Every structure is written in C-alpha cells, then in structure tokens.
Amino acid sequence: MARVVVVGAGLAGLCSALALADFAHDVTVLESGPAPGGQLRYGPQPFTLPAVLRDLFRKTGRPLERELDVVPVDPAARWVFADGAEVAVPNASPSGTRRALDEAFGRGAGAQWDAVVAHGDRAWRALRPLVLGHAGAKPAPSGGTLRDVATSLREPRLRTALESYATRFGADPATAPAALTVLPYLEQTFGVWTAELAQLIDVLAGRAAERGATFRYEAPVTGPALDGKRLTGVTLAAGGTVDADAVVWTAPPGGLADDRRGPFRRRLDHAEPEPGQVRTVVTEAHTQPAPTPQIRFPADGGPATITYDTADGRVQHVAPTAVHGAAAGRVTAIFQRPANVTRVRGLYLAGAGAHPGPGIALVAESAAIVTDHIGRA
C-alpha cells in the first residue's frame, strides 16, 4: 500500500481518491476549501461521454445509474439567431438534426451540417487515442482552423453556430483548430447528458470515504515536498508537511510552473483567452439536472451566450478561464496541456489544467489515466 496525497477535492480529486482507495492505497485528500466539489458546485453543467464516469462507477462498486439519475438533455440545445431564427437541436440524433436544420434554413442545410459532423468523426478517430488513455500532451493535429471548416458552409447561420464551438471557450475561430468539430460530433453521436451534480459530489466523496480515503478540508497545500529530486509529500500553507509516496495534484498546476526544482519539462502556459472573446460569467450554485441550454448568437459574430432557464431562474455562463484551463484562446492549447506524469517520480497531475483538459468527461479521464499509472497497491 502506498501513501497517496490527492491535492484538491474537485471532480479530479474525488475520482482519483475513489479509484486509488479502491486500489487499496492509503489516500488522504487535502482540500483548501470547506467542502468537496470544486467547480462542480456551479451549474448547470451538461456533459458528453458519460462512459468515462460509468467506467469509474463500474470498477469501484455499484453502476452509475444505480447511484445517480443520468438523463439526456433533450433537445440538446436551442440555437437562437440574431434574425430571430430558432433551431431545437435534438439530442444524439443526426437524422433529427438534419430535419430540424432543413426546416429552419431550407433543404440542404442539414446535409451541410452532416459534413461538419463527418469532419468531427474523422478528427475524433485521430484524436481519441491521444485524448483518452494517453498520459502525454500531444502536438496539434494538422487540418487547418475551425474558420476553414466554417467557410465551407453555404448557410451563414450554420457558420456562426460552428464557430461558437470556439468562441464559447474563449478561442478565436480563425486560430482554433478545425478538430473542434469533434465537439458537435460527440454531442450528436454519444449525446448530451445531465445529472444532479450535488449528488454526484456526494456519491463520489461518500464512496471514496467508504473505501478508506480521508478528507481534510481547509487544508491548502503550497506545493510538493522534495528531498533533492525525491518526492516526500506535500507542504501545507498552515506549516508542516504530509508525507506521501505519490501525490496527485489536481489544483491548478500554474503555481507549480515557477517551481525551479523543475518537475515540468517546460513552463506551464497560462495564457488568458484572447481579449474580447470572453464575457462575464454569472453562475449560481445549482443542484438540479441541466435543462436545455439556449445558445444565442449575436449579430456581430461575437461569442454566443449560453443561458439555462432553471427552477432557480435564468443562469448564464460563458467561458470563464477557470472552466477551460490554460491557454484556451490559442490554436494548439488543447493539445499542449501538461502531461499527467511529471519528471518527479510519484508526482502526477490531473484535472482541468492537465491533459486531456477541462470538462466533466475529460477531467474524470485525467483521474483514470493517473490511477492506471499508479496502479494497484
């Protein structure tokens, strides 16, 4: 059994703690805040690729569906254009989407969007092995920019809709990779899902504790503790250290970048999204499953606003930097996140700031990658 410290009790920390405790390690979670959940405490947050969470639940006990109501968001989105046109995009239904687009924009519009989804399918086949199950950041695939794909569409409103897959993340379609077509592909192929996130937090933390993980709240960590190049644990802001054989760092990794002891091959890049691409974020703590998001495209081609009409009122959130981690605005950012395995033996990175990136599915995947590396006790 190894002593493992997990820094942060957001989704990455909870998934790592659960999987590693299930592998019979002695796990301590150190969280700077008073409660678990991190960014999951805000919402609504629909997600794709539920298989990643399903896999964690299946491996560690009762299946996901027995613990949590995971339901499709249907329609997956309601697109609202500046000229008043609206499209309800059905969930996980390429034929339904084709029909809805033909109805809204005239015959042939659906086929244009099919071409986008087919592009996403090809991109996903190339990216999947890099994104899921790979521990290292990878070079950006070739294939031009999202704008290149958008300009191949005859229907201007479809161009706007496609480019929003960059602008909603604070990225510029003129520099964002064409491979972002993966996002509409994943939505249409595997669906958009929702669950009560507060319940997800409770289930993950509860199951990790049942497997023996210990949680310490209001325990901010300042960094890894090293003896020369050897990892010995972590240092606490309040003073003192917690000894560990392995550390899973799920807090933003930027603070580690300036560490001259050099756990990283290169400086971690924390570029801000490009100016003008990001709007104010209004979020509220939220416990209900996500309703259909309304995606409103402004006339000036600026970033779309995403709103949810919830039981608690209208909630809007648009591309905060924290959501999408480092350097969302640059073309290669999503392929240049720091790797999960660092140069310091026993020090691992998981979470939105590390490979493969932000969002519920990818963050849970980062925890799975780290767990595979650490292995069973």
Q: How far is CA 345 from CA 79, 85, 137, 289, in A?
A: 48, 55, 18, 40
Residue 116, amino acid: V
Could you tell me how many residues of this chain bind ligand FAD (CB under 6 A)? Answer: 32
283 interacts with ligand FAD by CB under 6 A = yes
d(CA 337, CA 350): 11
d(CA 283, CA 281): 6
205 interacts with ligand FAD by CB under 6 A = no
Q: How far is CA 154 from CA 29, 104, 159, 282, in A?
A: 52, 14, 8, 34
CB 324 to ligand FAD: min, Å: 7
33 interacts with ligand FAD by CB under 6 A = yes
Would you give the end-to-end CA distance of the chain in angstroms? 4
CB 31 to ligand FAD: min, Å: 5
* Owner of token pair 């509220």: 284
Both structure tokens of 300: 């000036």
105 interacts with ligand FAD by CB under 6 A = no
CA triplet 28, 30, 36: central angle to 5 degrees? 105
90 interacts with ligand FAD by CB under 6 A = no
Kindly tell me which residue out of 18, 23, 25, 39 binds ligand FAD, with binding defined by CB under 6 A.
Answer: 39
Q: Which residues between 293 and 352 bind ligand FAD (CB under 6 A)?
A: 317, 322-323, 351-352
Nearer to ligand FAD, 104 or 246 (CB): 246
CB 124 to ligand FAD: min, Å: 17
DSSP letters spanning 249-310: E-S-THHHHT-TT--SSSPPP-PPPPTTS----B-EE--SPP-PPEEEPPTTS-PPEEEEEE
Helix or strand or coil: residue 201? Answer: helix
112 interacts with ligand FAD by CB under 6 A = no
363 interacts with ligand FAD by CB under 6 A = yes
Nearer to ligand FAD, 77 or 153 (CB): 77
254 interacts with ligand FAD by CB under 6 A = no
10 interacts with ligand FAD by CB under 6 A = yes
| Contact region with ligand FAD (CB under 6 A), list: 34-42, 106-114, 224-232, 338-346 | 34-42
d(CA 188, CA 96): 10
Task: Name 42's bridge partners.
Answer: 285
Kindly tell me which residue out of 4, 6, 9, 21 binds ligand FAD, with binding defined by CB under 6 A.
Answer: 9
| Contact region with ligand FAD (CB under 6 A), list: 32-40, 83-91, 180-188, 332-340 | 32-40
Residues that bind ligand FAD (CB under 6 A): 7-13, 30-33, 38-40, 42, 45-47, 220-221, 250-251, 283, 317, 322-323, 351-352, 358-360, 363
